[in-house]
Structure 1
Amino acid sequence: MSNYSSMRVISIFALHVLVVLCEYTNLPEVPQGVFNASTRVEIHSTTTAAVWNALTNFPGYADWNPFVRAAIVVSPLNLTLPEQYPVEGKRLFLRTQIPPLPLPVNKDTPDNLLNTQFAYERITHVQPDLGRLAWEYATDTLIQAERWQAVSDLGNGVVLYESREVFNGLLASVLQKTLGESLQKGFDDQGRGLKLFLERGA
C-alpha cells in the first residue's frame, strides 16, 4: 500500500471516529416535540461523581446556576421537605431567570425581578448508574415539557454534561416565539455555569 493510500485510510478512520464522538449522547431518545432547548458541554479536571453531586444538590444551585436560581423539593401542600435531593415522584418548585443572569453567579447574586419565572415540576427519573436525571412540567394542560440531564465520562478527567427539554402542547409554539431564544440561552449558560463552577474548584 502506498503512503498516499495509507494516509487516506487513516484520515477516513479518524473522520469516522470524530463523527461517532460528535454523535454520542447519554440522553434518552424521546419524541421530537414542538421545539426543544438543549446544551452540551465538556467539563475538564473533574469526575462524573462531582458533576452528579452538583446536579442533585438542589440547595447549591444558586452557587453556579444563572438559569435555575432555586430548586426546592416540596410536599403536595407546597411545604419545603427536609431532604432536598431528587426522588422520583416528588414535586419540585423552580425559580428561574429567563433570560438567565450574566455569569458568573453565586448564592448572593440578586435575581432580575422582571425575568423571574416560577414552575412546579414532577421528578420523573433519578438514574445515578446511568448518570441521568429528569423532571416534567405538568401544571398546565396546554404546555407539557420534560427535561433530561445526563453525565458521561469521556476519560482523562473530562466529563460530558448534556441537558435537553422538549416542549409540547397547544401553546408550545407560542412559547417558542416568545421565550424560545431566552430558554435556549438559559440552557447554554447553565452548562457554562456548571463548567465554571467545577473547573474553578479543580
Structure 2
Amino acid sequence: MTSSTGLPPLSSKGVFSASSSCVINAPREVVWEVLMDWKSYKEWNPFVRSQRITDARKNLLPDETPREGCYLYISPVNIPPSFESTWFPSSAFERITALDHENYRAAWVNIDMPHWLLNAERWQALVEVEGGKTRYETIEVFDGLLAYLIKVFVGNGLKRGFIAMAEGLKSRAEERYERGT
C-alpha cells in the first residue's frame, strides 16, 4: 500500500533516517530516465557518484540492467557531497528489493553487514503533481549497532548528500526536459 507521499510504509523506524524531496518541472518519465541512468550520475550527482550492477562478489556484470534481486555496488559516495574527491568517500553494497517502473519507485537494502550490525533500507519515488510536474521523494532508514556511529559521525553529511542528490536530479531532469531530450 502506498502512502500519500508515494513512498511505502517502511519496515523499520530505525535509529535515524536521511531524506529529501523536491518538485521538478518535468514529467515523471523524464525524471525516471535520469534517475535510472546510473552511468551518468558522475555528471550531475555530487553525492552518489556511481552505481553499478554486480555479482555477489562485487564484480561488474556485462548486463547492467537493474532488476529486483540484483546486487548494486554504490561507490564512491561522497560525504560531504562533492564533484571532487572528498576526505571521506564511502561505498555501499546493496540488493535491489523493488524496481517498479509502472509506479516509478525503487528500493534497496544494505547487505554488506549482518542486519543486527547495520540495516539500511533506501526508497526513491516519483509522484505526479499538478501542472505536469514531478515530486521526487527519497528516504533511507538506518538501524543496527553501527547506525548509532553513522548517525554521530556522518549523519549530517548523509542528510546533506540526500538534499544535494535531489537538487542535482531536479537540475538534470529540468535541463533534459527543456532541451526535449
- TM-score over 0.5 (shorter chain): yes
1:77 positional shift: 3.3
State the distance in 2 between where 1:181 and 1:71 align.
22
> Runs of 4+ in structure 1 displaced over 6 angstroms?
none
1:147 positional shift: 0.2
1:190 positional shift: 0.3
State the distance in 2 between where 1:56 and 1:167 align.
23
Indicate yes or no: 2:16 matched with 1:41: no
State the distance in 1 between where 2:78 and 2:27 align.
28
Output the TM-score relative to the length of structure 2: 0.89
The residue that corresponds to 1:123 in the other structure is: 96
Q: Aligned match of 2:39 in 56, 59, 70?
A: 59
State the distance in 1 between where 2:4 and 2:97 align.
23
- Counterpart contact for 1:151–1:162, Cα < 8 Å: yes
Indicate yes or no: 2:146 matched with 1:171: yes
Equivalence map 1:157-196=2 (5 Å): 157-196=132-171
State the distance in 1 between where 2:65 and 2:123 align.
16
1:66 positional shift: 0.8
State the distance in 2 between where 1:78 and 1:182 align.
25
1:58 positional shift: 1.4
Pair 1:200–1:119, CA change in 2 (3 A): same
Output the TM-score relative to the length of structure 1: 0.80
SS at match of 2:145: coil
Identity of matched residues, %: 36
Letter in 2 for 1:194: L
Q: Aligned Cα RMSD in Å? A: 1.4
1:83 positional shift: 2.4
1:154-190 superposed Cα distances (whole Å, 9 cap, x missing partner): 1312100000000000121121011110000000110
- Counterpart contact for 1:161–1:191, Cα < 8 Å: yes
Tell me, which stretches of 5 or more residues in structure 2 are unaligned?
A: none
Indicate yes or no: 2:119 matched with 1:148: no
Tell me, which stretches of 5 or more residues in structure 1 are unaligned?
A: 1-22, 102-108
State the distance in 2 between where 1:77 and 1:34 align.
28
Indicate yes or no: 2:85 matched with 1:111: yes
Indicate yes or no: 2:68 matched with 1:88: yes
- Counterpart contact for 2:34–2:172, Cα < 8 Å: no
The residue that corresponds to 2:58 in the other structure is: 78
Indicate yes or no: 2:43 matched with 1:68: no
1:122 positional shift: 0.7
Q: More displaced, 52-61 or 35-44?
A: 52-61
1:153 positional shift: 0.8
State the distance in 2 between where 1:176 and 1:60 align.
29
Q: More displaced, 77-86 or 121-130?
A: 77-86
The residue that corresponds to 1:29 in the other structure is: 9
State the distance in 2 between where 1:150 and 1:56 align.
12
1:130 positional shift: 1.4
The residue that corresponds to 2:106 in the other structure is: 133
Letter in 2 for 1:92: L
State the distance in 2 between where 1:194 and 1:54 align.
7
